[in-house]
């Protein structure tokens, strides 16, 4: 029997065609699945990420190529990768009418990362395919076939490796995949992925988030406490949100109470905990994927007294060579526990540093850990001493006590410029290690490091650090019972106090040094102390006493055949004559000092002689000769990286221009000098010169400055 329809007839719905039916008939309509919209919730407003959202938008622009692609958003734990990716994909929903899929790949979860086959199965079931293929290859092929017919977006969250992600890439037109990870996932670059690394939020954006969560009035009323909270959260949105939740839950408690809690060092990680969600847990997860050697280095780096460190620091701690340290650091960078700041320079994010310190503290008492910390101290001591030997060889006379021998040798400096460049670049870390020596109970290393930093103090003149380092060094030398070290700290530290403007205490230090040198029978040390006393007399305007001290210093040093020392004393004597308006008498001792210093190739001190000689010739009216000598001196100081004496020489040049009757040229030189004084923190000199430029003070006799003891 055959049925047919003619005309406008039609059949709709379920139809059963049968010759006979016995029993019941049950009809089931096919299940219609909703279009998948699986993106996780995200903040209604994403604050501080406008530039990142715009960058993702550009990746889908016509200029960027085809609309399909893979975008990889990376960054440290808690920086807001998932929120950014979800927010951006929601804003692009019209581009993906066939669905937006989501999979948490749990790259750092305690149970380990998700098998790609599990995520594939979920994607296929979302489109009604069941059962799904058992093999990963078959499932991936079916996934690509399904995606080829659709315009969909996929968010793969918390990926651990490129291999985990690759089977989940649809690889078809009209699809976009956003991958988030704490790792860099550079392997996905071979698949044409575009990378976007998220940085911590700016303080302004962090404050706005806090105000959005706890109320703008509350933040405005306690702006100082709010700023402390924001600073403690270090730009991590998760940390800010956790702090805000804590504050919002305690409306009667001031922001200051939370700020105080967040200011307690490592307690900050514990304070950032709301209902079990913590910054510490996220960092623990990143730490948990490290290989043992990298994990050990992470903890050791956390114990360092500085947040920004070098490749050499890491090599010394790990007791390996530079390539080995680079490989270990690459593992830390890969999971965003360490940031690369420049060639061979790295740093911790503030909260990560607290976590690293906590990890290191767990094994701080171990012998291997203590040996690593001692290696860092010894490496800085040895390298600073090597720089000192190049820049100030006559000062390098005292022994050094090393407890370890790092595998990485101390720096070998080819010349004065390279040694000074290292001292300048490492200034902050040297200061931190010096302070750290007290905590590590390394008194000998403390005063010896202060001693080795002499070229830094002499050339760059960091007044506050000069004084602080020698106060620490003096305590340490006395604690170690080292009388020679104590004597060196008194004389070098007295110079620092004098240059910082504290003439009274400087005189006291030099007096103690003179007594101790006599007790120990060290004539050259007596000369050093007398030299220092001459400079304190000069500061006090007691020029006759200063001159008498310096002539005695010349005698003592010549008796010991110390040519350089006697030349420096003679140069200082010429300076005192200049201050006493006896320029004609000053020329001979200054010229002789310059010849003697040039004969021993002490270019820095010879340049100082040229500067004083230029000023003397200017005072005597020999302006062209003065200009020539000052130009030579200026070139010498620039080559030696001595910004302080560069500023001083520019000031001398301005004074000569004034004597020459050229006020505009003088002003230009003074302005150049003032800028350099301010750069090096020479506040007293800068203030005096600023007054001169502003016309608030009469032109005064220059302060030629203090030479090396």
The set of residues, in sequence order, having a beta carbon less than 8 Å from that of 613 and lying 6+ positions away, is 587, 590, 591, 594, 629
Q: Is residue 19 part of a domain?
A: no
Q: In the listed set 302, 336, 364, which residue is the last one of a domain according to the structure? A: 364
* In a shared domain, residues 340 and 382: no
* In a shared domain, residues 496 and 634: no
Q: Give 108: exposed, middle or buried? Use CB within 10 Å, 0-12, 13-18, 19+.
A: buried
* In a shared domain, residues 306 and 267: no
Higher-scoring residue by pLDDT: 582, 19: 582
Domain housing 247: 203-275
Query: Taking the CB of residue 435, how many other CB atoms lie within 10 A of it?
Result: 14
Q: Are 42 and 83 in contact (CB under 8 A)?
A: yes
Q: What is the pLDDT of residues 229-274, one digit of tens each?
A: 888 888 888 888 878 877 877 777 788 877 777 766 556 666 666 5
* In a shared domain, residues 208 and 171: no
* In a shared domain, residues 183 and 148: yes
Please state, in angstroms and rounded to a whole number, the distance separating the CA atoms of residues 505 and 497. Answer: 7
Higher-scoring residue by pLDDT: 541, 68: 541
Q: Is residue 451 part of a domain?
A: yes
> What is the model's pLDDT at position 190?
85
Q: Is residue 549 part of a domain?
A: yes
Q: In the listed set 448, 481, 514, which residue is the last one of a domain according to the structure? A: 481
Give me 646's structure tokens.
């560069």
Q: Is residue 156 part of a domain?
A: yes
* In a shared domain, residues 358 and 474: no
Q: Is residue 15 part of a domain?
A: no
Q: Once rounded to an integer, what is the mean pLDDT over residues 338-353? A: 86
Q: Are 161 and 183 in contact (CB under 8 A)?
A: yes
* In a shared domain, residues 345 and 359: yes
* In a shared domain, residues 446 and 579: no
Q: Is residue 458 part of a domain?
A: yes
The set of residues, in sequence order, having a beta carbon less than 8 Å from that of 606 and lying 6+ positions away, is 594, 597, 598, 636
Q: In the listed set 533, 561, 589, which residue is the last one of a domain according to the structure? A: 561
Please state, in angstroms and rounded to a whole number, the distance separating the CA atoms of residues 139 and 132. Answer: 7
Q: How far is CA 255 from CA 232, 281, 290, 311, in A?
A: 13, 25, 37, 40
How many domains is the chain built from?
6
Q: What is the pLDDT of residues 142-161, one digit of tens each?
A: 989 988 888 999 999 999 89
Residue 296's CATH number: 1.10.10.10
Residue 171's CATH number: 3.40.50.300
Residue 19 pLDDT > 90, yes or no? no
Q: Is residue 544 part of a domain?
A: yes
* In a shared domain, residues 431 and 456: yes
* In a shared domain, residues 576 and 668: yes
* In a shared domain, residues 580 and 690: yes
Q: What is the pLDDT of residues 604-656, one digit of tens each?
A: 999 999 999 999 999 999 999 999 999 999 999 998 889 999 999 999 999 99
What is the pTM assigned to this prediction?
0.69
Q: Give 92: exposed, middle or buried? Use CB within 10 Å, 0-12, 13-18, 19+.
A: middle
Residue 709: pLDDT band by 50, 70, 90 thresholds?
very low
Residue 313 pLDDT > 70, yes or no? yes
Q: What is the pLDDT of residues 381-402, one digit of tens each?
A: 999 999 999 998 888 788 999 9
Q: Taking all residues of the chain, what is their mean pLDDT, rounded to a whole number?
A: 87
DSSP states of 264-321: STTHHHHHSEETTEEHHHHHHHHHHTS-HHHHHHHHHHHHSS-SEEEHHHHHHHHTS-
* In a shared domain, residues 599 and 700: yes
Q: Is residue 26 part of a domain?
A: no
Q: Are 214 and 223 in contact (CB under 8 A)?
A: no
Q: How far is CA 112 from CA 79, 117, 305, 559, in A?
A: 21, 14, 34, 77
> What is the model's pLDDT at position 700?
42
């Amino acid at each position: 029997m055959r049925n047919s329809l003619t005309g406008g007839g039609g059949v709709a719905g379920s139809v059963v065609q049968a010759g006979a039916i016995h029993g019941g008939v049950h009809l089931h309509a096919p299940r219609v699945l909703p279009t998948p919209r699986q993106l996780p919730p995200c903040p209604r407003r994403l604050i501080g990420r406008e530039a990142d959202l715009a960058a993702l938008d550009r990746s889908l622009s016509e200029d960027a190529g085809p609309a399909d692609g893979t975008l990889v958003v990376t960054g440290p734990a808690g920086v807001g990768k998932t929120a950014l990716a979800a927010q951006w994909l929601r804003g692009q929903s019209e581009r993906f009418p066939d669905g937006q899929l989501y999979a948490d790949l749990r790259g750092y979860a305690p149970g380990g990362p998700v098998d790609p086959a599990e995520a594939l199965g979920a994607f296929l079931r979302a489109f009604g395919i069941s059962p799904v293929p058992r093999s990963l290859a078959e499932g991936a092929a079916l996934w690509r076939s399904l995606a080829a017919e659709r315009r969909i977006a996929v968010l793969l969250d918390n990926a651990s490796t490129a291999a985990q992600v690759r089977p989940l890439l649809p690889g078809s037109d009209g699809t976009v995949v956003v991958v988030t990870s704490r790792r860099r996932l550079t392997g996905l670059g071979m698949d044409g992925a575009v990378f976007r690394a998220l940085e911590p939020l700016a303080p302004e954006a962090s404050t706005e988030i806090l105000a959005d969560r706890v109320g703008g009035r509350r933040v405005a009323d306690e702006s100082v406490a709010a700023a402390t909270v924001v600073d403690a959260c270090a730009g991590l949105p998760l940390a800010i949100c956790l702090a805000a939740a804590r504050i919002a839950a305690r409306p009667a408690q001031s922001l200051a109470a939370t700020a105080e809690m967040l200011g307690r060092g490592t307690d900050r990680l514990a304070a950032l905990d709301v209902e079990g969600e913590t910054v510490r847990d996220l960092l623990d997860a990143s730490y948990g994927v490290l290989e043992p050697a990298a994990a050990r280095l992470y903890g050791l780096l956390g114990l360092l007294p500085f947040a920004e460190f070098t490749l050499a620091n890491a090599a010394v701690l790990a007791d390996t060579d530079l390539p080995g340290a680079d490989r270990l650091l690459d593992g830390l960078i890969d999971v965003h526990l360490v940031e690369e700041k420049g060639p061979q320079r790295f740093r911790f994010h503030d909260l990560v540093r607290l976590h690293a310190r906590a990890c290191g503290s767990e094994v701080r008492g171990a012998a291997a850990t203590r040996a690593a910390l001692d290696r860092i101290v010894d490496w800085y001591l040895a390298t600073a001493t090597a720089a000192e030997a190049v820049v100030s060889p006559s000062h390098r006379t005292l022994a050094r006590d090393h407890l370890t021998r790092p595998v990485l040798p101390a720096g070998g400096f080819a010349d004065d410029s390279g040694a000074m460049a290292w001292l300048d670049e490492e200034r902050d870390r040297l200061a931190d290690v010096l302070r750290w020596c007290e905590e590590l109970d390394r008194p000998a290393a403390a005063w010896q490091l202060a001693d080795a930093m002499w070229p830094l103090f002499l050339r760059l003149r960091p007044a506050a650090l000069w004084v602080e380092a020698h106060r620490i060094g003096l305590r340490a030398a006395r604690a170690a019972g080292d009388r020679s070290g104590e004597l060196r700290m008194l004389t070098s530290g007295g110079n620092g106090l004098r240059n910082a403007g504290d003439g009274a205490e400087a005189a006291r230090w030099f007096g103690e040094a003179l007594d101790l040198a006599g007790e120990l029978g060290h004539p050259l040390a007596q000369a050093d102390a007398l030299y220092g006393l001459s400079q304190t007399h000069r500061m006090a305007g007691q020029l006759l006493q200063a001159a008498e001290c310096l002539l005695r210093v010349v005698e003592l040093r010549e008796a010991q055949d110390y040519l350089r020392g006697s030349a420096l004393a003679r140069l200082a004597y010429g300076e005192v004559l200049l201050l006493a308006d006896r320029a004609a008498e000053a020329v001979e001792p200054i010229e002789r000092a310059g010849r003697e210093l040039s004969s021993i190739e002490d270019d820095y001190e010879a340049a100082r002689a040229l500067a004083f000689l230029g000023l003397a010739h200017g005072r005597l009216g020999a302006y062209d000769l003065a200009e020539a000598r000052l130009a030579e001196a200026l070139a010498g100081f620039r080559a030696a990286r001595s910004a302080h004496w560069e500023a001083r020489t520019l000031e001398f040049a301005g004074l000569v221009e004034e004597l020459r009757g050229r006020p505009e040229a003088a002003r230009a030189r003074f302005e150049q000098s003032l800028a350099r004084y301010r750069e090096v923190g020479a506040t007293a000199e800068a203030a005096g010169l600023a007054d001169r430029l502003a016309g608030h003070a009469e032109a005064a006799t220059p302060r030629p400055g203090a030479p090396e003891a």
